[in-house]
Structure 1
């Protein structure tokens, strides 16, 4: 039942869901972009410098949060790649065969292609490593690392125990470059044991680029001076600065304050900062290197004492601190005294995406001197008002452009859908300009096109089945009916040979009545070819009402074709058959073969099943007509015999025959 389009009333048109798309976009973008800016502008005009500082602290907190989100997204995407590779068939096969010492050249080619493709497809990934269960690198995007052992790395130790792991920033033990290592266990094919570890290394310079670009990409939050004076850096759980927007900063790879002995041991054990070869062995292996220790910045101990608990707690926010001019000096104990500059910090914890406890793996710190916040408040307000107007204009233009981008293809798709509803012709080219889009609208158009084509194909199929059914139902002569069935099936199904057998209930056998090249006489005096109903594929056909399709006769492990059949010369490779039943009575079977493997499709099977119902009825009707004709012929014979007997009796009872009989009896008496 079609949906009726009722006109909307005036009040219904005012509801948001009934607005046009471009109006919705314009209003939403104006509300999201312009309204907050206006609120900030008018509130700031009534506040003093402290309020401005507070607002800027919120801004840098947001900036820190957005940066943390980008890094979290980077880590999450990378670990999705790790999980995918750890479950890759080529990786599992290669490790399994490596354990068994049965690695083939093709396996080596496949694993190298897989890891190189993963690296080249993601510009954030520097290395992809495959380790066996002992920590030996057995495949690597840098071939010179293959053959070295890395079981001392925590990312291997955690993964080999069945845990997904993500490290902080580490200095590579081989190439001495920074990066973030992620790992996941590789399980055997039956998932019964861990056979190795898959690891990737995120480029450390990519993380640095995020920090470098953070300030320059957030023009709506900070002023020009803040860009020049601001710094963004990452600290880990030990308070070490592991990445910095200024790659030449003397803070890089140093700790805020001093680390404890236990923490120092952990740092050295995992070689967090890499290591140096002994003086007598400049080309040593990673295990032979002497781990580097972080150099402390004692004057920043108060900052470390503040930030590390906040990192452990997670979340984001802002604080103020005194940045000493001499970071190597002892920490000041006088809280009121600031031997340097007052700075504001926006911070945000970066959550470990593979941790069940949502622990923090880094903290993003946006560090800006407070003095750059203080400027001409009135000038700021004027600039903000001007920006609001410009932004409003931009929002309106953008909303119109975006709305048109969405509304036009949706409108076109709607028009084509209406044409389909009116049963007008449809071709995929009608919506080609929509299907090429890569967004949800394009996907919807592609699904719509496939759906229409599939539905019309089904309608054509049903129309064909109906036409075939009408054709075979119009004939009541059994041979002609069987011939029509085979001819009709040949129009829609490609087969090499076919047989139609009718079921003989008395002998529980199947009599061959028709092949695609010969009609067997239905004369009962002529002996017909019969098949045992318990052999070949007949038990499968009679076991259910559905058809039987076998794509590879030779490889089929069930019933076998053991009887000599009319199609043996074609060397059948695939088979399609269906039983014919009418009112719970088995009528016969239709079988066909192809000399090609996979010679039949599910569509062929469905058509044959549909036609078989009408074919069974047509054959039953033809059999009934034939039986009726046979009974009429027998009745004529009986009637002819009855008429003959009456004529004989009439002649023998005449006077002539009575006199002749009497004379004959008299002579017999005289002779005696």
Structure 2
């Protein structure tokens, strides 16, 4: 069967006063109400059964009601601890001043149900499947098709009865309005279900009015409720749950996209077919349109499965309402217990334990967290549509999720065809937003694009792609060739500059050697110094300075390290015995320092020292020291500079940049220096700095320190934040290295400009070709569009507009001719079917 005989026994009726107390929380305000939550019995106002107001869509009751008086402080518990509403007013005697019911106008039948064998048009009643407070479910047979069906009859037994002529009548005059409202709601449910076409939603084959009531004909399904099925299984795996519920999620998404909510999802309303074990969603008696803003005077809620907004009645409801109930059903599936009733969770600390905690280790964390997400008390904290919930719940089951997404995409395409569901999809701003979201996703899925666009793009790609690929290949090849040439050029520039600097250093070294062997200096240091001798040597040193402007300082030092004669009066008489250039010279060896910012001279320069030997040629009696300015070295290097595109610089043996056109980079290291090197530089006050910053350039440090060969390198500059190339060469006679770097964009700029011109040419050609391709594509697509319009006309039964004109003999033209023939056949069959129905009197009977 397809309807559940227990579907109404567990529902709770929430009165209008309680709805008002809960509505503030369920809409947008997340603050808990100050009033304490009352029990279910406390929330119901006593009164006569005939005084109660029917919900906007009445609950289906297919089991006898068990309404009794209850203690207001206690609640009755049904099977598995499920709370059941018990009406304090039902069964009570009316007050003394309250009018009695009117007597029945017609005698009652022996039973409220139709007798076995009774005929309702082509349907024969075979048995009663279930009977509740609002209706009766029958097993029946369609005698024309010899097919079993289920028929639901509207008959609220508290307010109506069956007469001896099998019509249904209100029990009293004051019950008539209640009865008629319920009948209208029953027909609304039937129309709702009839709009859905999904294998996992109960199918309404037909609905009609007869005998002063209404009937709903449903497809017959053999099986059992999910609740019954679950009780027979101690353990259900996550994979099994996913396999069962994935198609059901798709069906519920169809309901939501049509603009409806179920509003009473629970294990009793989910049925498992015996044929294939699939699930089907039943009982849409509480369904309503999403767009409806009218508040229910009294809402029907199943404790544990109804979200807080349903208790509020007029609370803002949407897909998230059904998602809560579906999450509660899944919670029951994995834990064996239904969740705590929503109003009882309105406390500072939610008393409902999480599924993740209760089922830790039994199911995946993602699966359990998705269930907990769906059970969030506030509507805004839950998934807002079935796609969100499905993606979270099936995160570890991508195969199932992918199938569901494909089915949804198919439904979207059908909806876009112009059906009624397309109109319903725009019934609320939320659904409009969802539609725009799906349109955005379609843009990134080329398979959903129109054929004209795909044909146009294909033709443009075929024509222009080879041109672009060739141009790009040529650009890369040319860039690599130019890069190789530029690298060799930079290497040559670096080598030329290193050679010139080497010549400058060599000339200074030769001058120092010459002074060290000068007889005047040997004679002066061989005897005790005299003032006359000092004066004569100073004149000689001053002449040397004047004749060689690169020499900044010259001095003669005795064996104690004292500058006995100097071209600079400030240096005269000072001791330099701890200087490295003096200590090395006193061992009998000439010495050259690196570039030093002198503590006295103040400008960068290089010290050359040469020992002075006694007449025997072995005894060192002093030293001659020259200080050569570093400015000539900078002059040589500046000749290689080209704005900010080509930068030369000099690196010493420690990896410190001792000359650079950018003062910020002067005396920084290519890589961080060792502590002992930093301490030595600090002690010597070599650069008048206590710290040496690093630019962290390992590619340059590898080639500029310790190598004695020339070469080139490509690297990403940490200073300029760009890709650069560099040539390098060692300075002869020193441990210095000249590096000349250049931006790759500098030499590639002309090639990029050429490539941009090629792209512009391709764009112009492409624009012309695009126009031609669109015209050509339209000639192919137009007949297909005509076929589509004809198919939609056929769907609406408009045979006059279903035929299309055929003007071509290609494959599309042949398809159009076949389509026209099919239309003619269908039209003829429709005429024959209408004739048979008229002959049999069906149309007249249904009217």
Q: Same fold (TM over 0.5)?
A: no
The TM-score normalised by the length of structure 1 is: 0.40
Greater length-normalized contact order (CA 8 Å, ≥ 6 residues apart): 1
The TM-score normalised by the length of structure 2 is: 0.32
- Which of the two has greater helix per residue? 1
**Bigger Rg over Cα:** 2
